[in-house]
């Protein structure tokens, strides 16, 4: 089980939000590059980046910080990034600078043709972020709840050739209330591509629960607030995942 520390970027700083509310941002670091190096030193095998301003604006807003992070990890581990990615030029620019995977969220829902083109142009490097509340997909930095069913969209996007689906239960994100195991495994069972869980990760108990469904197609999990508030030690969590999942 791959555990992936998240670095959420707002105005060039590392923050965490509660349920995606930009007004509920807690700043954890003014140095994104140093934060990325910290997670690498703790044994991270991948870093997850979100351009929060970009997700709201519909275009990248923290590219400078993202480039700093990529340069800081020196190509030692893959970096995946999402937030405000709406065109092929942005994807190409990110990949050219060393980003390993690009995550398309709102644009995949609103413009499936763009996602299809992206998967064709950059095979193996496009993931989709599906953020849902009660099974319904949200867009625009979680500010708008659509009528789309998460399972239906995931199956559709799988057919386009996405590398993985990142599934976030937005009702749990940043709340330290535990991963929504039931919804995550239901999605994973419906797909052939891997699912990465996100939202609510809080303890080693969540590690155990996720490892128990790894064979269902849950490849990894994104960790945020629990790490930054010291409720979970990343090195210990990844070691536990390696042990339980062995």
Active site residues: 8, 131
CB 181 within 8 A of CB 152: no
In terms of Cβ atoms closer than 10 Å to its own Cβ (0-12, 13-18, 19+), residue 134 is exposed
In terms of Cβ atoms closer than 10 Å to its own Cβ (0-12, 13-18, 19+), residue 182 is exposed
Cβ-Cβ contacts under 8 Å for 172 (sequence gap 6 or more): 178, 179, 180, 199, 200
The Cα 126–Cα 37 span in angstroms is 24
């Amino acid at each position: 089980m791959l555990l992936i520390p998240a670095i959420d970027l707002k105005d060039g700083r590392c923050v965490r939000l509660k349920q995606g509310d930009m007004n509920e941002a807690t700043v954890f670091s003014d140095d994104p590059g140093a934060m990325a190096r910290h997670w690498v030193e703790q044994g991270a095998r991948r870093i997850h980046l979100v351009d929060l301003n970009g997700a709201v604006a519909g275009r990248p807003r923290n590219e400078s910080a993202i480039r700093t992070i990529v340069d800081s990890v020196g190509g030692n581990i893959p970096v995946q990034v999402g937030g405000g990615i709406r065109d092929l030029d942005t994807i190409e620019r990110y990949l050219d600078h060393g980003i390993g995977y690009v995550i398309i969220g709102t644009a995949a829902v609103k413009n499936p043709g763009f996602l299809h083109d992206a998967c064709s142009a950059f095979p193996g490097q496009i993931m989709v972020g599906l953020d849902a509340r009660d099974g319904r997909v949200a867009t625009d930095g979680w500010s708008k709840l659509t009528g789309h069913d998460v399972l239906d969209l995931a199956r559709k996007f799988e057919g386009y050739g996405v590398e993985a689906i990142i599934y976030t239960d937005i009702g749990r994100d940043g709340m330290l209330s535990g991963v929504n195991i039931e919804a995550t495994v239901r999605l994973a069972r419906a797909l052939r591509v891997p699912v990465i869980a996100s939202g609510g990760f809080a303890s080693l108990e969540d590690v155990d629960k996720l490892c128990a469904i790894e064979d269902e197609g849950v490849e990894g999990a994104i960790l945020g607030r629990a790490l930054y508030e010291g409720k979970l030690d990343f090195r210990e969590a990844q070691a536990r995942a390696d042990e339980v999942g062995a």
